[in-house]
Amino acid sequence: MTSVLNEQEYYRIVYGGWLGKNIGGTLGAPVEGKKELLQLTFYPKLPDGPLENDDLDLQLVWLHALEQYGPALTARELGQEWVEHVFFPYDEYGYALSNLRRGLLPPVAGWFNNPFTNCMGSPIRSEIWAMAAPGAPEVAARYAYEDAIVDHAGGEGVYGEMFFAALESAIFMEKDRDRLIEIGLKYIPADCRTALALKDLIAWHKEGYGWTEARELVLKHHGNPNFTDAPQNIAFTMLGWLYGDNFEDAILKSVNCGYDTDCTAATLGAILGMLLGPEGLPEKWVAPVGDRVVVSPPIKGFPAPKNLDELTRRTIRVGKQILAAWDTDIVVHSELPTSWNRGITDGYALRDLWESKATSNRYLLPEGSIQSPDAELVIDYGQNGPAIGTGESAVLRFEFTNRSGVALEGSVALELPEGWSGPGERSVTLQPGEAFRWEAEILASDAVEAVNRLEFVWKRSHDNSPWAEQRVAFTLVRASRWTLAGPDGGEGTDAYIAGNRLDWKSAVGEEVDGVYRAKSTLYNPVEREIRLIAAANGPVTMKLDGQAVIECGDTLEFMPAYHRAPRKQLVELVLTAGIHEVEIEAVRAGKPLEVYVLPISVRNTSSPGPHYFYTDVLWGAR
């Protein structure tokens, strides 16, 4: 039976959610990253309306993406939106954007070389999908998945966004708090860290623990030193809801847990705003933020809404399209009252998303297909990812499946960069539903660029004659060449590093404490200001052309972020063009080494968007 969502009711729920998002984000932003128990009672002094916040910024970009690409929007289009409009360097954002700029696609772009996949960057972006798929949590969770794999593939950030999107979408048809949390949990794996943290929190609440005691238990059993880690912060969001007596009390309890405070307060503010509507939010909290939408300067190049009314109306406009495109049997009506006649789809239906590989990309052919394609191609890069070193071989796994209703005949081949070698063309005959699996070993020449373009070529034949040709372009990035040595001395072992994490364990073994060494060359194509980072979980030094530029004798919190690596583990200088010698020494003391070496821009750039990754810097150049 058809369900009806009254358009005025739709408006008030969406407007209330966006207003609550602004309230919570403005409350929490000034204390983001503080890990102690806080004592906030109200906003900080506000200059003029709400504070800018990535929690809302990125959803404005996603609204533009929905308007641009329509209901068929996938992670690939969202990735393109990142490259065009998002210039943030923060944690997972910075790593994913580096990958996207080099031509990698989600989910590989969100997983490869990314140490922040378990963090909060995607759970904070859930509302747009819930509001654009009202009363259809299975649809909202699928969009949330497509979003999250852009920068969190393979991590808890994916599950956090799916949980929130499903919960918030269900608000349109369900108002009971406990039931809403239960619905959200249906859309994530029962054994993921996020689900386990939430289940424990719910149990502690039922057992009568106070909110500060519950906070300590969350940190004890599910905590992480990185203040942006998702499971602990999602639990703090729900803690405010479980223990709060009203809107104010709830968002204050959530934010006063500390850690990723803008995220926890903003998401809870959105949830409560959707439940209460704008008329149910206290004027005390509404008046200082008003109706304005403020956008951070590094988010640019698209028509951002000027106020919450415009944001709400544009959200509803795309929502109507999505409800129709997904055949939800939900109709938005300007006169009829809201009437729900649909149940909640079992989240188990999304198991295919939970189990999909972050190491592979999927393509539908012909290019541009949305559904019912003629063929499907999956390229799996394996655990080392889409990287290859000079003169190095790599195995790529292709699975080419006939999705049409007739037999397909033809051949498949790889087109490689000049001087590279690989397997020859293979003849293929596939019945409907049949797949051709191909492990293709390729060998790179000594001319491996920062970004290397390859193509998978499908040539279809008909009546033994050439008929049509389709090409799928993909990218391999240059692996870094390092000489790695353990504490036993010696000249070391040459090894290729797929990303920026130095991996002594694979090269020389890393089972004993001591000093581990790494040497490489850095090719810088132009003279520039640069930030060199040697982020480590123990003492670390870096020498550049024989001179010590980083000397950190302390064991600091491991933080391989472009914009917030420890000051003692970075150096900023003017680096001349050409090849430079780099030496790293890292001390292992009781736990496995974690060391990332990163070439990053400085803060002051000519256009908003500081601390981005220099993709043209090459490691191991001769």
Counting Cα atoms < 13 Å in the Cβ hemisphere of 339 gives 9
Q: How far is residue 336 from each of residues 4, 5, 155, measured CA to CA in Å? A: 7, 8, 42
In angstroms, rounded to a whole number, what is the distance separating the alpha carbons of residues 103 and 576? Answer: 27
| CB neighbour class for 337 (10 Å; exposed up to 12, middle 13-18, buried from 19) | exposed
380 is in an annotated binding site: no
Question: Measured between alpha carbons, how far is residue 374 from residues 365, 397, 410 in Å?
Answer: 6, 20, 14
373 preceded by a cis bond (ω within 30 of 0): no
**Secondary structure class of 413 (helix, strand, coil):** strand
Cis peptide leading into residue 366 (ω within 30°): yes
Distance CA 222, CA 524 (A): 42
Q: What share of the chain is helix, strand, coil (3-state, %, to 5)?
A: 35, 25, 40
**Secondary element (H or E) of residue 58:** helix 54-69
Give the residues across from 535 on adjacent strands: 596
Contact present, 543 and 605 (Cβ < 8 Å): no
Q: How far apart are CA 176 and CA 338, in angstroms?
A: 17
487: tokens are 């504490």
Give me the residues paired with residue 361 across strands.
379
The full 3-state SS of 467-482, as one line of letters, equals EEEEEEEEEEEECEEE
135 CB contacts (<8 Å, ≥6 apart)? 3, 5, 169, 170, 172, 173, 328, 330, 340, 342
Return the biggest CA–CA distance within the chain: 80
Angle, helices 193-206/230-243, rounded to nearest 10 degrees: 30
Contact 5, 320 (CB under 8 A): no
Neighbours of 519 (CB within 10 A): 18
Q: 488 a known binding residue?
A: no
Buried b / exposed e along 89-116 (16+ C-beta atoms within 10 A): bbbbbbbbbbbbebbbbbbbbbbbbbbb
The token duo for 24 is 């919570």
- Do residues 19 and 308 make contact, with C-beta atoms less than 8 angstroms apart? yes
CB 13, CB 342: distance < 8 Å: no
DSSP string of 72-115? G--HHHHHHHHHHHB---SHHHHHHHHHHHTT--TTHHHHTT-T
Q: Cβ(161)–Cβ(122) under 8 Å? A: yes
H helix intervals, 502-578: 504-508
Residues making up the binding site for Mg(2+) = 260, 262
Annotated binding site: 260, 262
